[in-house]
Amino acid sequence: MNSTLHTTIALIRRSITQSFQSLPRRDRPSSQAVRRLAQSISLVCLNIRTACLVDFCRIPSPQHTLPQLIDNLRKDECIGCAHTFAIFDSVDGDVFFVNSTMLSHKLNGSSPCDSDPVSDCRSLYSASIKLEDVTFISLDKPLRVLESLPEPLVSMLSYLRAHLAGAPRETCSDKRVSDVPSTLVLPSSNLSPYVQIPLAGILLDYSFAYVPPPRAEPQDNEVFLSGEALDVFEISLRSSETAESLELMKFSCPSEFSNPEPLATSTPTAIRDRLAPIVEHLNSNMDGGTGPSWEIIADISRVTLDRVAL
Q: Helical H runs in 239-296?
A: 268-282
Looking at residue 223, its pLDDT comes to 85
* Residue 309 belongs to a domain: no
Global confidence as pTM = 0.89
Contact predicate 178/167, CB 8 Å? yes
- Taking the CB of residue 287, how many other CB atoms lie within 10 A of it? 10
pLDDT of 126 reads: 60
Domain count of the chain?
A: 1
The model's pLDDT over 160-207, given as tens digits with 9 standing for 90+, comes to 999 987 554 444 444 445 578 899 999 998 899 999 999 999 999 999
Tell me if 273 is assigned to some domain. yes
- Structural domain of 29: 4-304
The pLDDT assigned to 175 comes to: 43
Cα Rg, the chain, nearest whole Å:
19
Q: Does 310 map to a domain?
A: no
Closest C-alpha to 130, from 106, 103, 97: 106
The verdict on residue 294 lying in a domain is yes
The reported pLDDT for the residue numbered 300 is: 92
pLDDT in tens, 241-269: 778 899 999 999 999 998 766 556 778 88
pLDDT for res 128: 72
Which residue ranges of the chain lie beneath pLDDT 50?
1, 112, 115-120, 122, 168-176, 286-287
Backbone angles phi, psi at 131, to 5 degrees: -60, -40
- 135 located within any domain: yes
Do 87 and 98 contact (CB within 8 A), yes or no?
yes
Q: φ and ψ at 157, to 5 degrees?
A: -65, -35
Of the CA atoms within 13 Å of residue 214, those in its CB half-sphere come to 9
DSSP SS3 for 234: strand
Residue 287, domain member (yes or no): yes
